[in-house]
Structure 1
Amino acid sequence: MHVTAQSVQTVDRRVRKTKQALVRALLALMDKRHFREITIADIVREADVNRGTFYRYYRHKEELLEDAIDTVIKDLIEVFREPYKNCDTFTPRDITASSIKIFDHVAQYANFYTLIAKSHTLPVLYERIYDQLKKLYMHDFTICDSDAKIDKEIYASYQANAVIGMILDWIRGGFRHSPSYMAEQLQLILHFEWCKAVYRTNRNPDHRR
């Protein structure tokens, strides 16, 4: 049997479309309920394929979740770079709240990101998000002040954890603020001169004002 390059491409395209349909189905279902409640029957029904098609590509739903994570992370990279994607050079002070799309992204995949807040459920998910954000800071940002003597990898780790911290607090608070409000707050934080902050050392830590 003669196999042409075109026929191979056709098969590859069909496989890719089927797997994308299964990923979209899982993400759509996760927008309605928790991952542990979703069955393979639910997934194939949502994707409009049969169980045999599912098992042709995946042994269990956790393998499909890995592909779903890859899809979400790819979108995360795109929205993270949104504020500076068309710039030759860029500083945090150039960021506008309207250009920050990362919280819209999290809201779009709200149930998916809620899994991060439950580290006992999917600890690998937190690590994947953290590693990707750290890589973005390592690759895309340069510390221009030669006198700062800041270790770039430590800086990238600090920034990645700061962004994840905001996301986790937002999730654990039940998304009480809108994505636009969170974007405004991140912009203000990025513009804030931390040398103006004052730490009070003589206050009761339980005191709130």
Structure 2
Amino acid sequence: MSREIDRRAARTRKALHQALLTLMLRKGYEALSVQDIIDEADVGRSTFYAHYTGKEDLLRSGFQMLREELKEAQSTARAGAKASHDDPLGFSTAMFEHAARYADHYRTMIGGRGGAVTENEIRLILSEMVRQDLSSSLHDDTIPRDFVVQFIVSAFLTALNWWFERKPKLSPSQVDAMFRSLVLDGLSPLMGDESRSSAD
């Protein structure tokens, strides 16, 4: 019986997350109400509040799932034959590939429809991933590490938005190659020689 309840709860959460994304694409996050979400998901108000305290809680729950997916993808990418533990952009390939699979979701998050909360959450996730990659890559603290993290995150989001808006037919690997080429040139003075050569 408990398994059936768990499956039902999982289906409800999935329906609510999908409703949130659909509505964000349609009208933007800030304009949404809980009533809009439950109407789209076809669930009752009491059912919604059994799982979430409000629309922001629902949104953050979705980002937690995204964080787990991306961390797993990042680990898989770094475990590949060509991956280097000294690669300061080890996150980028996994991120571009994930963005290609869920393009509509990412357009919502970075295109202004998601609002300030959404942009802040995606920046937090990216910052965590970049810090992990930088932990063994940078050997020069002339420039504060947090500044480097924010530089990379901002460059990535700009590249992602450009890809979606200007050149959507490019493959993830093509965009990743351009992103890495530009950013690695900027990071090379802060990296050891062996790190720069392994990332090329």
Q: Provide TM-score, normalisation by structure 1.
A: 0.61
Count of matched residue pairs: 182
Tell me what 1:205 maps to: none
Q: Distance in 2 between matches of 1:195 and 1:84?
A: 20
How far is the alpha carbon of 1:64 from its aligned partner?
1.7
Aligned: 1:137 with 2:127? no
Once the two structures are aligned, what percentage of the paired residues are identical?
20
Q: Distance in 2 between matches of 1:94 and 1:60?
A: 35
Residue type matched to 2:6 in 1? D
Segments of 5+ residues of structure 2 without an aligned counterpart are 190-200
How far is the alpha carbon of 1:191 from its aligned partner?
5.2
Segments of 5+ residues of structure 1 without an aligned counterpart are 1-6, 197-209
How far is the alpha carbon of 1:193 from its aligned partner?
7.3
CA displacement 1:74-125 (0-9 Å, x = unmatched): 3443454553243595154998x97642542673311122248x8xx42x44
Map 1:171-190 → 2, pairs under 5 A? 171=161, 175-178=165-168, 180=171, 181-190=174-183
SS class of match (2:30): helix
Residue type matched to 1:182 in 2? V
How far is the alpha carbon of 1:175 from its aligned partner?
1.9
User: Of 89, 97, 100, which residue of structure 2 is paired with 1:101?
Assistant: 97
* CA 1:75–1:160: 2 relative to 1, 3 Å: farther
2:17·2:62 contact (CA, 8 Å) conserved in 1? yes
1:40·1:61 contact (CA, 8 Å) conserved in 2? yes
Tell me what 1:69 maps to: 63
Q: Provide TM-score, normalisation by structure 2.
A: 0.63
User: Of 24, 27, 35, which residue of structure 2 is paired with 1:30?
Assistant: 24
2:38·2:44 contact (CA, 8 Å) conserved in 1? yes
Aligned: 1:114 with 2:104? no
1:134·1:159 contact (CA, 8 Å) conserved in 2? yes
CA displacement 1:147-180 (0-9 Å, x = unmatched): x3438x9436514532333314653897223363
* CA 1:154–1:81: 2 relative to 1, 3 Å: farther
How far is the alpha carbon of 1:31 from its aligned partner?
2.8
Structure with bigger RCO (C-alpha 8 Å, 6+ apart): 2
Aligned CA-pair RMSD: 4.1
* CA 1:72–1:170: 2 relative to 1, 3 Å: same
Aligned: 1:155 with 2:145? yes
1:103·1:182 contact (CA, 8 Å) conserved in 2? no
How far is the alpha carbon of 1:23 from its aligned partner?
1.0
* CA 1:137–1:21: 2 relative to 1, 3 Å: same
Q: Distance in 1 between matches of 2:187 and 2:133?
A: 23
Tell me what 1:165 maps to: 155
1:30·1:111 contact (CA, 8 Å) conserved in 2? yes
Residue type matched to 1:150 in 2? D
Q: Distance in 1 between matches of 2:23 and 2:136?
A: 42
1:44·1:50 contact (CA, 8 Å) conserved in 2? yes
1:80·1:102 contact (CA, 8 Å) conserved in 2? no
* CA 1:172–1:16: 2 relative to 1, 3 Å: same
Residue type matched to 1:25 in 2? A
